[in-house]
Amino acid sequence: MRTALTELTGVRHPIVQTGMGWVAGPRLVSATANAGALGILASATMTVEQLRAAVREVKSRTAAPFGVNLRADAGDARDRVRVIIDEGVRVASFALAPSRELIAELKDAGVVVIPSIGARRHAEKVAAWGVDAVLVQGGEGGGHTGEVATTVLLPQVVDAVDIPVIAAGGFYDGRGLVAALAYGAAGVAMGTRFLLTSDSTVPDAVKARYLAASVKDVTVTTRVDGLPHRMLRTELVADLEKSGRVASLTRAVRHAAAFRRISGMGWRQMARDGLAMRHGKDLTWSQVLLAANTPMMLKSAMVDGRPEAGVMASGQVTGLIDDLPSCAELVDRVMTEATKTLDHLHAEPEPEPEPGPGFSPSGD
């Protein structure tokens, strides 16, 4: 199935595995790439050198194209861009709009630039800056999210820009891919569906929590970092919703200290990154600290296997997922179902039966 996305990135299928922190590591990305989809390596939870090592590990596992996801507001974003260029990574994706300068630097090196956006005006802005495509996430998607549903946001963006649009938020099967193509998208991006594969390194106990969840077990809260964040309801989320300012600040400082040890970042850089994530919002200092070290809260569940002590970003589709296929099985299933759906839509209708002897339109 050739679309503007497959032509742009060189993958076989118009499917993207999103760059989920602590989840989209070398094993998942290479498995996705070998399956013919676009795997995106998450770099926000890595140091620059860890990122370089992870990129090289993916390259040792696959010769297929893949991408790296960056935080455009990170203090070392330019160093990470240099790794992408030096290592010959095909795609750079961004959780926020990158600057004109970063876009130009990447494009001059032949890297495909695909930022994620959540509003039509954001898509128009980055398109004017020269990005190659945009990934549009509707409110059904996991992690930081907006209020507008994919079915409303996607056609707005498709009509507003002349570059390929990738649809995200609420996709998990071939029917969804066909629906996105019908809206004018060039493909779909899936996070939760790839998290729930056998190639994902997320602990089995955590995957079991996802598989057991219903659609109603997914919530949106602003108490993690001050921004709307879609995730599973967990003990920690419940505590955050009920806790006062002192308890929130104490928890934030503890998590920040742990993230500082792992990332090698100084307190000043962590505070600067946290402030950058405010995006004009009136956040408390505890929320600023949490914004800078939300990765630690994700790590508790996604790496340490402690869902009761961490946050579990999740799209609403988790309530519709009940198995753990490999990436190869998942991509093959999606494409097979998409082909069958298209064949069904294109099938000629059954001819009306010819009236038999004695037939009268009036029923006489």
Interval 334-360: pLDDT, tens:
999 999 999 999 987 777 777 666 555
Q: Exposure of 178 by Cβ count < 10 A (0-12 exposed, 13-18 middle, 19+ buried)?
A: buried
Helix (H) or strand (E) holding 102: helix 100-108
Q: Residue 250: its pLDDT value, please?
A: 67
- How do strand 134-137 and strand 165-168 relate by DSSP bridges? parallel
Q: What is the DSSP letter of 309?
A: G
Q: What angle do CA 145, 148, 150 make, to 5 degrees?
A: 90
Low-confidence ranges of the chain (pLDDT < 70): 243-293, 355-364
pLDDT score at 97: 87
CATH topology assigned to domain 4-203+321-340 = TIM Barrel (3.20.20)
The domain locations on the chain are 4-203+321-340, 214-309
From the list 69, 96, 95, 329, the residue with the least C-alpha distance to 197 is 329
Query: In angstroms, rounded to a whole number, what is the distance separating the alpha carbons of residues 8 and 184?
Result: 16
Give the strand order in the sheet containing 143-144.
143-144, 229-232, 218-221
pLDDT at residue number 256: 63
